[in-house]
Amino acid sequence: MSKIHVMSDILANKIAAGEVVEKIASVVKELVENSIDAGSKKIIVNLKESGTKLIEVIDDGSGMDKEDALLSFQRHATSKISKEDDLFFINTLGFRGEALASIAAVSKVDMKTSQGSDGTHIHIEGGKLITNEKSDARKGTTIKVEDLFYNTPARLKYLKSLQTELANVTAFIEKLALSHENISFTLTNNDNKIVYTSGSGDLLKVIHEIYGYTVSSNMIEINNSNDDYDISGYICKPTILKSTKSHMNVIVNGRVVSNNQVNKAINEGYFKFKPDIKYPVVVLKIDTDPTLIDVNIHPSKNDIKFSKLDALSELITKTISDALTNTLLVKEVEEKAPMQTPTYEEAIVVEELLTDDNNNEQLTLTQEVVETKDNYSDVKIKVEESSKVRENKNEEIRNLVLEPKAIIKKTYIVAEGEDGLYLIDQHAAHERINYEKTMKEFKEKKINRTSMLIPLTIELSSSDFIKIKEHFDTLESFGFICEEFGINTVVVKEHPTWLRNGYEDETIRKVLDLIIDEKEFDEMKFNDRVIATIACKSSVRANEDISLEQARGILKDLVLCDNPYNCAHGRPTIIHYSTYELEKMFKRVMN
């Protein structure tokens, strides 16, 4: 008797649902992307109990006739592609024809759709057609998904908490709104509005509607292209950084994607301006010929493959780095009016740890207050001004005369300028000065060495010793003369004169650790890290006593730096309180 048989369509759809429908956000993704493909300009997503009880998507798209409405629930039924070659020219978000069949197999689905004349009403439960009849004729589609996974309890119990599922849906709707700024998106849960965007077609306004004033007013516009790719969008100043990668929004031909190489290229652009453990808020749009990308590598269509990825990465990194370098990065302090404790309707509350599917890391989304949006015109002016390339970008700060008045906590220099008060981190400022001095000497090959009175001997593991021995020449280019000294042992006989007295051993060991920890040796990045390490170890420390005369010397040298606004590791060096801001905080001015 034959053991092999063909599965029923319902069983096959339930299995397929495991790939397409992983969580509430997966269902919302498939339904909303269908609405976008239908040409909708207004999309409303209503949830009950974070979508566990009801997911309703209402759009004003093209709708479907009776035949297409019924056919849309068949597996592999799609209007997006018809022949094999179409896979190389995909311009829609959906194309597989699996989503509706998979969703209908594990839930109760009710759909009303119309092209503007006769409407169609279809109701399906667990993959079985219950109702197929005429309905009202409002153009567009309304689809309800109730009791998700009601017939697959094993999957139901693996849904996260209500807050986690709501957070996932919210994050996805926000990303979709950023990718389609000409579409108005509304998300509600239990009749409480969570997300709203106007569909104005202005990307900066959407950023403002989603992230609020603090983020939107600190964005920098970018535009660049090469022979194959056009990139555009907004990147945040290093004063606005997050603890996770979830706010790095990458959009390729209108599709929200997550690609590790693109994320790496974005971080490379920031690597001189921020700590490694922090991540920027970025909305990066990449437009290219569909033949240069492959979106058909996973049913979720979240990841993507690029042709000529190296050229794209270089374009992204250089564009971001140049934009940051050419924009004034002094951190301004803004006073905010006191806010009352937000209600649930005014806030997105996510206290739990979430798992990011693409980065396999734990994410903590904190409570973010939905801010008022009536100050967008101020944001637009501020961003347009800050995004202009400054040919003499440091002219303002070079002309500053900063007079140190005090040093607080043995760390922060309090200085007075003509336009207000300045706070300077003494270590970060001195590190920036030493970094640029060391970098200049390194590029000009003016490195002076000094012999160690007692050579430093360092024992290593076999693998670490091999790495260090391979880069003896690299170490010598920085002024470190190293030799092999017995089994798995290195002796350091000379070091550059830059090293601070008393910290020679610590600095040398840190430089060797950089070589050992480097997974993919990149000479340019390694050089920068070594110089940053030397600059850090050669600088005055936090909690170290310095005189006002030493502080005056630091301020004098800082304003002459090419980038006086950040230390070599990306932390801000200087914060400015304008006279107006001080007077406003003390209520000397009331507007």
The percent of residues in the chain predicted with pLDDT above 70, rounded, is 80
Higher pLDDT, 45 or 278: 45
Average pLDDT score over residue span 10-24: 57
**525 conformational bin, left if phi > 0, alpha if psi -120 to 50, beta if neither:** alpha
Task: Please state, in angstroms and rounded to a whole number, the distance separating the CA atoms of residues 318 and 315.
Answer: 5
Interior CA angle at 567 toward 561 and 569, to 5°?
Answer: 140
φ and ψ of 180, to 5 deg: -135, 75
Output the pTM of the full model: 0.69
Q: Which residues touch 276 (CB under 8 Å, ≥6 apart)? A: none
Position 368 pLDDT exceeds 70 = no
Which of 78, 87, 259, 258 minimizes the C-alpha distance to 175?
258
pLDDT digits (tens, 9 = 90+) for 129-142: 999 999 887 899 99
Task: Please state, in angstroms and rounded to a whole number, the distance separating the CA atoms of residues 522 and 66.
Answer: 59
| Domains, the chain | 9-159 (3.30.565.10), 198-392 (3.30.230.10), 449-496+499-537 (3.30.1370.100)
What is the Cβ-side half-sphere exposure of residue 262, based on CA atoms within 13 angstroms?
24
How deeply is 254 buried, as exposed, middle or buried, from its count of CB atoms within 10 A (0-12, 13-18, 19+)?
Answer: middle
User: What's the pLDDT at 10?
Assistant: 53
pLDDT digits (tens, 9 = 90+) for 280-329: 999 999 999 888 887 755 555 567 888 889 999 999 999 999 898 887 55
What would you report as the CA-atom Rg of the chain, rounded to the nearest whole angstrom? 29
